Copies of this chain bind each other. A is one copy, B any other.
Amino acid sequence: MSAFKKLVDHSQKCSHFNHLAAICGWDQASMMPSGGNQARSEAMAQLSVHIHGMMTQPQLSDWINDAENESLNSEQQSTLREIKRNWQQANLLPEKLVQAKSLAGSKCEHAWRTQRGENDWVGFEKNWREVVELSREEAQIRADFAGLTPYDAMLDIYEPGTSSASLDTLFSDVKTWLPGLIDQVIDKQSTEQFTAPSGKYSTDKQKALGLEVMNLLQFDFNHGRLDESVHPFCGGVPSDVRITTRYDENEFVQSLMGIVHETGHARYEQGLPKHLSGLPSGEARSMGIHESQSLFFEMQIGRSDEFIGHLAELAGQQFSGNEFEKSNFQKIYTRVEKDFIRVDADELTYPAHVILRYEIERDLINGKIKHTDVPELWNLKMQQYLGLSTEGNFKNGCMQDIHWTDGAFGYFPSYTLGAMYAAQFMASMKNDLDVSSVIQSKDLTPIFNWLETNIWSKGSLLTTDELVKQATGETLNAQHFQDHLKNRYL
């Protein structure tokens, strides 16, 4: 058996265990009663150890070396590249550091769940100090290996190929026009009248509506489900994608568009190349590209005039009231407000939240600032970008996100990269298709075919830059994002 074939078999074995982890993880978040948590966590931890053991088996090194000298076609070369990358990532960190960071992260995150509500920065800081230290240690090891700065080495986990140099360029450009645009739009919307949701919207009807919308978006229910969880997510495996939402009987706005968003993630997973199933080359390209698909669904399709019309029509079959008029839907779903909380932010202010976090975590991991500097910097930047003060308001400031509590530094930029890629894909798609008419027709097949051909079916065969260039003729160009925002909001 060739070394490459051995690697393929090994990778597929690992993927079976990852499958079990994905399903049991979904179950833990959406089905499991709380009394089951301890035994489940122990079982999942045992599984992680087993998977890590498989990923670091000593013979993999030889197999990879040998495979690199075998004659492989281009697809096989991509597969080998991704297998090697995963193997490097798994072997990079000393087990002791992985365990220490996992423990410190769990401890910090667990305490944060109550500390946040209590605005307890002092308590949080005590746990977080260790998470930051261990994350810097991790970043340094990754940096030494990859020949990058520490923060760029963390970025590379989520967005292979992206650097802070390119993000600095992108984001400093955004900062030149975004604050002004936000003010302009808020001013324009200040006289707008709309009916806010008020009343009881039953979970059953919201769910029925969500399923209708998923059908319109051609979610494949033979390979997936919709369920409920406290924090909505897209999980499972490509052959069986599990998305979740959270219903609030006082309003329908978040859950409804949340389902559109998660359906975007889900269709990417469902559309990944089946002949590469179980191989890293058959997986999603990066967090940014994943987010580009959810945001394509949510922002590019979901908030288009035509789709808003369909949403209002479908909602009107379940509910009645002025709030379900199309024009009211449009106003609700394009409302811009300066506020503290990223996860509740609208499309226009969202990048400001991300850029703020990017700038802070970049300097924090590169050792240019101390973790105790974060609240002040947060307040400063929040005033600069959104005109809001967070002085003393830790819970709605630097303590609001889960990401930093367990050391996931480098993740935040993916959100805005995703929004930018989504706008670029739409601009390119419009050269090929009359997108508005397609959405209007309620048969969105041509749109999904474009995404499947250009994004989903590529898995991780191409690098992100190659993928985006093949799909749109150029690498990331943030002008499309700016054009999109101006076009929609001005």
Residues of B within 8 A of A24 (CB): 20, 23-24
Within the assembled complex, what's the spacing in Å between the Cα atoms of A16 and B45?
9
Q: Is the CB of B277 within 8 A of A39?
A: yes
How far apart are the CA atoms of A238 and B33 in the complex, in Å? Answer: 12
Q: Which residue of B lies closest to A220 (CB)?
A: B35
Q: Is residue A240 within 8 Å, beta carbon to beta carbon, of the partner chain?
A: yes
- A33-B222 in contact given A23-B27, A24-B23 (Cβ < 8 Å): yes
A46 partner, pick from B17, B31, B47, beta carbons under 8 A: B17
Q: Does A73 contact B (CB under 8 A)?
A: no
A13, CB-defined interface residue at 8 Å: yes
**Distance of A226 from chain B, by nearest CB (Å):** 11
Residue of B nearest to A242 (CB): B31
- Which B residues lie within 8 Å of A221 (CB)? 33
Q: Which of B23, B35, B42, B222 contacts A34 (CB 8 A)?
A: B222
The answer to whether B20 touches A240 (Cβ under 8 A) is no
A38 is an interface residue with CB less than 8 A from chain B: yes
Which B residues are in CB contact (< 8 Å) with A238?
39
Within 8 A of B (CB), among A211-242: 220-225, 236-240
**Assembled-state Cα–Cα distance A27/B40 (Å):** 15
Given the known interface contacts A20-B24, A23-B24, A239-B38, the answer about A225 and B31 at a Cβ–Cβ threshold of 8 Å is yes
Contact across chains for B19 and A240 when beta carbons are under 8 A apart:
no
A13-53 CB contacts (< 8 Å) to partner B: 13, 16-17, 19-20, 23-24, 27, 31-36, 38-40, 42-44, 46-47, 50
The residues of B that contact A13 with a CB separation of less than 8 Å are 46
Distance A43 CA – B38 CA, assembled complex (angstroms): 24
State which of B16, B43, B220 has its C-beta within 8 Å of the C-beta of A17: B43
Q: For chain A, residues 199 to 221, give those with C-beta under 8 angstroms from any C-beta of chain B.
A: 220-221
Whether A240 contacts B17 by the Cβ 8 Å rule is: no
Query: Quick check: B31 and A43 within 8 Å, CB to CB?
Result: no
The one of B32, B40, B44, B240 in contact with A36, judged by C-beta atoms closer than 8 angstroms, is B240
* Given A17-B46, A40-B240; 13 other pairs, CB 8 A cutoff: A16-B46, A19-B43, A20-B24, A20-B43, A20-B47, A31-B31, A33-B221, A33-B222, A33-B224, A35-B222, A35-B223, A35-B239, A36-B236
